[in-house]
Amino acid sequence: MALTEPVIHEPESVVADEEAAARARNTNILDPGFELTLRPMRYPVFYGMYQDAIKNTWTVDEIDFSDDLVDLDRKLMPAEKHLIGRLVAFFATGDSIVANNLVLNLYKHINAPEARMYLSRQLYEEALHVQFYLTLLDNYIPELNEREAAFAAIENIPSIRQKGEFCFKWIGSIDDLDELHTREDRQRFLLNLVCFAACIEGLFFFAAFAYVYFLRSKGLLNGLAAGTNWVFRDESCHMNFAFEVVNTVRSEEPDLFDADLEASIREMMNEAIDCELQFAADVLGEGIPGMSIADTRTYLQFVADQRMVQLGLPKQFGVKNPFSFMELQDVQELTNFFERTVSAYQVGVEGDVAFDEEF
């Protein structure tokens, strides 16, 4: 008989006592240093996120691309093939950029060992996403020169290069920060964290997911959609972690969240929307029945509003999701959309998932 590790559920009173003892050390999550003490645990919520992420394990080998190849060869219109070409070109580098910021900035400054455990798991997931998109390109683009061009898209395709430059600007914005000593240092770090959670993972990637689900609604590229379901779930969890860090900092140092920081976040979000609209103009430039630049702009504003709410800030646009194909999708592996909490990692989800509820 195989031995399994017993699951130990600590009483709530024990957890509360442990949190109180941990906070008695009088350190905040952005304080300089490299805290190593897991007991008593200061932020058990991050450890819980790490445990949930471990349960949410998938592999690229589970994804079957065979039907996609038939669709690419026989079913997709030229405009849809152009959309897919641009989309996979963006995917080729998007998660690598996120991973670089995680290693260079987030791990260094989020000073809680349980939070760094989650970041370590996130780094694995970013590598898994890179493998997924590598496999995607290898299957979708068999011609070597075309494949090399797709991997170099961040240098050669203006709409993708613009998004890359936006990302690199925020990675570089705190290059000179070895430790977060001052109020200004911490606000600069928060802007980097918000940028990657709300703008890159929370806007750029979610726009890309909408293109994938639009094609799925037409019965196309089910392999891509199946893999995207898992990536979608991962990215939702990454955002939830980052926003929980923001909430923790807000509770510990509320004076950091002033009008200037809010104005900077809104300016950043509007710049991200502009970048993504340029990409949409490229992606949809050959005409895709059922998607328009105007609707895409509204969708991006809708997503941006959700991100602002998650950051504890008022909505800016007050618009509704214009994409009816997102209202109901048969995505059995997917259990959350935008800020919903993932609740089924190891148990298959049966039935349809509604996208038209309050997000």
Residue 271 falls within a domain, yes or no?
yes
Residue of 311, 300, 301, 318 lying closest to 339 (CA atoms): 311
Q: Which of 47, 50, 118, 133 is catalytic?
A: 133
- The pLDDT value given to residue 22: 52
Highest mean pLDDT among 77-86, 146-155, 250-259, 330-339: 250-259
Give the tens place of pLDDT for each residue, 45-97.
999 999 999 998 999 999 999 999 999 999 999 999 999 989 988 988 889 99
Question: How many angstroms separate the CA atoms of 92 and 133, rounded?
Answer: 6
Residue of 258, 262, 245, 126 lying closest to 193 (CA atoms): 245
- The pLDDT value given to residue 10: 54
Residue 13 falls within a domain, yes or no?
no
Question: The dihedral of CA 268, 273, 279, 281: what is its sign?
Answer: negative
- The pLDDT value given to residue 18: 60
Q: Is the pLDDT higher at 145 or at 261?
A: 261
Task: State the pLDDT confidence band at 300, using cuts at 50, 70 and 90.
Answer: very high
Question: Taking residues 140-152, what's their average pLDDT?
Answer: 85
Residue of 238, 261, 237 lying closest to 249 (CA atoms): 261
Task: State the pLDDT confidence band at 224, using cuts at 50, 70 and 90.
Answer: very high
Task: State the pLDDT confidence band at 13, using cuts at 50, 70 and 90.
Answer: low
- By the 8 A CB rule, do 140 and 72 touch? yes
Residue 44 falls within a domain, yes or no?
no
- The pLDDT value given to residue 351: 37
pTM (predicted TM-score) = 0.84
Residue 349 falls within a domain, yes or no?
no
Residue 41 falls within a domain, yes or no?
no
Task: Write out the residue range of the structural domain in which residue 271 sits.
Answer: 70-341
Question: How many angstroms separate the CA atoms of 153 and 147, rounded?
Answer: 10
Cα-based distances in Å from 271 to 129, 191, 195, 300, 323: 25, 13, 11, 12, 22
pLDDT of 346 strictly over 50: no
Averaged confidence pLDDT in the chain: 86
Q: Which helix (H) or strand (E) holds 354?
A: strand 353-354
Q: Is the pLDDT higher at 28 or at 15?
A: 28
Q: Is the pLDDT higher at 209 or at 6?
A: 209
- The pLDDT value given to residue 313: 95
pLDDT of 357 strictly over 90: no
Q: Is the pLDDT higher at 22 or at 182?
A: 182
Residue 18 falls within a domain, yes or no?
no
Active site residue 133: yes
- By the 8 A CB rule, do 312 and 196 touch? no
What secondary structure, in 3-state letters, does 276-326 show? HHHHHHHHCCCCCCCCCHHHHHHHHHHHHHHHHHHCCCCCCCCCCCCCHHH
Question: How many angstroms separate the CA atoms of 302 and 84, rounded?
Answer: 23
Q: Compute how many other C-beta atoms are within 10 angstroms of the C-beta atom of residue 74.
A: 7
- The pLDDT value given to residue 4: 40
The answer for residues whose C-beta is within 8 angstroms of residue 39's C-beta and 6 or more apart is 18
pLDDT of 5 strictly over 50: no
- By the 8 A CB rule, do 210 and 22 touch? no
Question: What six digits make up the tokens of 295?
Answer: 């609707």
Asked which of 80-94, 109-123, 275-289 is least confident by mean pLDDT, the reply is 80-94
For residue 263, the one-letter residue type is A
Question: How many angstroms separate the CA atoms of 248 and 134, rounded?
Answer: 36
Domain count of the chain? 1
- The pLDDT value given to residue 14: 53
Task: State the pLDDT confidence band at 343, using cuts at 50, 70 and 90.
Answer: very low
Q: What is the CATH number of the domain that holds 79?
A: 1.10.620.20
Taking the mean position of all CA atoms in its chain, how far away is CA 74? Answer: 32
Share of the chain above pLDDT 90, in %: 70
Question: How many angstroms separate the CA atoms of 156 and 149, rounded?
Answer: 8
Residue 352 falls within a domain, yes or no?
no
